[in-house]
Amino acid sequence: MKLAGKLISQTLSALLFVLLLVMILLVLSSKASGGQPEFFGYQLKTVLSGSMEPGIQTGSIIAVKTGGDMNRFQPGDVITFKMDEKDLATHRIVAKKASGQAVIYTTKGDNNKTPDSEPVLAQNVTAQYTGFTIPYIGYFIEYAKSKEGNALLFIIPGLLLIGYSIITIWRVISRLEEPKRV
């Protein structure tokens, strides 16, 4: 019984410590890359609209592959592109036009009735959708990007570690105060 309790205690401590480290790495990576952590050429993006439903639900996170030749895409591919200086969209290519070196894509959200009003220059494409999506996690990630959410990601694991340490210290002290049996 004591061994099982000790094993559970050590496992819980290790998990809380790893959680704290992961949160620190995510925040630092996010800040260092200008808000978009990248792992081996892949980025996670949050879907904020229903334009690609039902395939990609609002509030999902998706994995996109960055880099490469942005002229390579064909109709049917799903790309992430800059709509303006700060906003991105992920839509399906419905047409491709090449004029000399310039490539222009016509895009459309799967849930939209008409194609996007502005064509997308190949140089404004930032990534290609990989097909990987996790529903609803994006809501949490968007909250975590806020100042309040960012603080909570540090505070909650830290408080859990402190609370667990206090409990552990209290148990050790109570064992020391117990009279020894002879």
DSSP letter (8 states) at residue 35: S
Q: Is residue 79 part of a domain?
A: yes
The pLDDT score that the predictor gives to residue 114 is 92
> Number of folded domains in the chain?
2
- The verdict on 17 and 47 lying in the same domain is no
Number of continuous H segments (helices) and E segments (strands) in the chain = 3, 8
Q: Is residue 182 part of a domain?
A: no
Alpha helix locations (H) across 127-146? 137-145
Tens of each residue's pLDDT in the chain, 182 residues: 677 777 887 887 788 777 767 766 766 666 665 556 666 778 778 888 888 888 888 888 888 888 888 888 899 999 999 888 888 889 999 999 988 788 899 999 988 999 988 988 888 888 889 888 888 877 877 777 778 887 777 787 778 878 888 888 888 888 777 666 65
- The verdict on 56 and 104 lying in the same domain is yes
Q: Is residue 181 part of a domain?
A: no
- For the question of whether the overall pTM of this predicted structure is more than 0.75, the answer is no
Residue 31: both structure tokens together: 């800040």
Q: Quick one: residue 135, left, alpha or beta (phi over 0 = left, psi -120 to 50 = alpha)?
A: beta
- The verdict on 42 and 115 lying in the same domain is yes
- The verdict on 70 and 89 lying in the same domain is yes
Active site residues: 49
Q: Is residue 50 part of a domain?
A: yes
- The verdict on 46 and 133 lying in the same domain is yes
Residue 17: both structure tokens together: 């410590």
- The verdict on 41 and 94 lying in the same domain is yes
The pLDDT score that the predictor gives to residue 98 is 87
Which residue range is the domain that position 170 belongs to? 1-34+146-176
- The verdict on 40 and 127 lying in the same domain is yes
Q: Is residue 85 part of a domain?
A: yes
Instruction: Report residue 83 CA to chain centroid gap.
Output: 21
